[in-house]
Amino acid sequence: MSAAVLEAEKLIATITIPAQRQIVIDLQVEMAVDEPCFTQISTAVAKDVALSAKIIKLINSPFYGLSRPVGSISQALSLLGLNNFNNIVLSSVMRELINVDGELNERFWEHTLLMARLCEMVALRTRMVSADLAYMVGLFHDCAVPLMLARFPDYEDIAFPGLGGGKNLITVEDERYCTNHAVVGSMVAKNWKLPDVVSLAIRHHHESSLDHINDNDARVLTAILMFSDFISMLADSSVSTNLESGKIEGWAQYHRHILIELGLNCDDVYEYREDAAELLMRD
């Protein structure tokens, strides 16, 4: 193991990674059985009154676009189904444990939830990997940003200009801190006992090639994450007004391997950009 890798591991050890909540662990265990008990799940979650309130508030937000409001955990579980409900619980717990101080918090969570929904959308349409895994990848892909903000006083200078598409962010992080938010984010995913493919996709989502990712699901999830990251940037009106069609086509040409992996083309970029803009308008 190189001196640089050892130094990075020492530094990562000084970053506080929040422990997974017991309710999330219990939910994952119940989901793994052949016939999960909805009553047991809803009862367990409802016991945590504060978390339940956050879950219901998130579900009823315009971002999820439900036709009628949800009033209880059991109703939410019945309406959404187990997998979607699990994603909402993960989102609520993550928002409780991982946050950014001040005004930056709103920007961070707008980007995070948009990425989760976009990754889920791409997975549903391409049908190459589980939409639930894709949602997790989008939800956790930048989860290390708040942790690094808490650890490094100067991190804010580089984090948010690069959030959602900062091309040189990983390079700057490596130079300054001997690690980066993709590495730390993958550690959070492992710490929370998320599927290995989720951790792998987070670890590699800023790299230029997919060739070294041997696991097929991890490779597809990484491609979905990289594609969704670009789409989220296009959907941000403060950014997209400065991006002409030629630049979109330039991205599509440079990242042709991502489009090929997902069975997409340049025209799909425009379509997904419109869908992402609609998601943002709901918020």
Q: What pLDDT digit, counting tens, does each position of 68-96 carry?
A: 888 999 998 888 888 889 888 998 898 88
* Residue 134 pLDDT grade (very low, low, confident, very high; cuts 50, 70, 90): very high
Is residue 246 domain-resident?
yes
Q: What is the pTM of this model?
A: 0.86
Average pLDDT over residues 185-214: 91
Q: Is the pLDDT of residue 278 over 90?
A: no
User: Phi and psi (nearest 5°) for 107?
Assistant: -65, -45
pLDDT at 243: 52
Is residue 10 domain-resident?
no
Last residue of some domain: 97, 130, 147?
97
Last residue of some domain: 97, 112, 139?
97
Q: Share the mean pLDDT of the chain.
A: 85
Average pLDDT over residues 245-269: 89
pLDDT at 1: 57
- Pair (93, 117) in one structural domain: no
* Residue 131 pLDDT grade (very low, low, confident, very high; cuts 50, 70, 90): very high
pLDDT at 6: 65
d(CA 122, CA 146): 26
pLDDT at 98: 85
Residue 31's domain comprises 19-97
pLDDT at 11: 72
* Percent of the chain scoring above 70 in pLDDT: 90
- Pair (115, 93) in one structural domain: no
Last residue of some domain: 97, 132, 165?
97
* Residue 2 pLDDT grade (very low, low, confident, very high; cuts 50, 70, 90): low
Q: Is the pLDDT of residue 213 over 90?
A: yes
Contacts of 115 (CB under 8 A, 6+ apart): 138, 139, 141, 142, 164, 225, 228, 229, 232
- Pair (266, 139) in one structural domain: yes
Find the CATH number of the domain harbouring 272. Answer: 1.10.3210.10
- Pair (138, 68) in one structural domain: no
Residue-wise pLDDT tens digits, 21-67? 888 888 888 888 888 899 989 998 998 898 899 889 888 887 777 77
- Pair (185, 163) in one structural domain: yes
pLDDT at 166: 46
* Residue 249 pLDDT grade (very low, low, confident, very high; cuts 50, 70, 90): confident
Is residue 193 domain-resident?
yes
Q: Is the pLDDT of residue 175 over 90?
A: no
- Pair (60, 195) in one structural domain: no
Q: Is the pLDDT of residue 164 over 80?
A: no
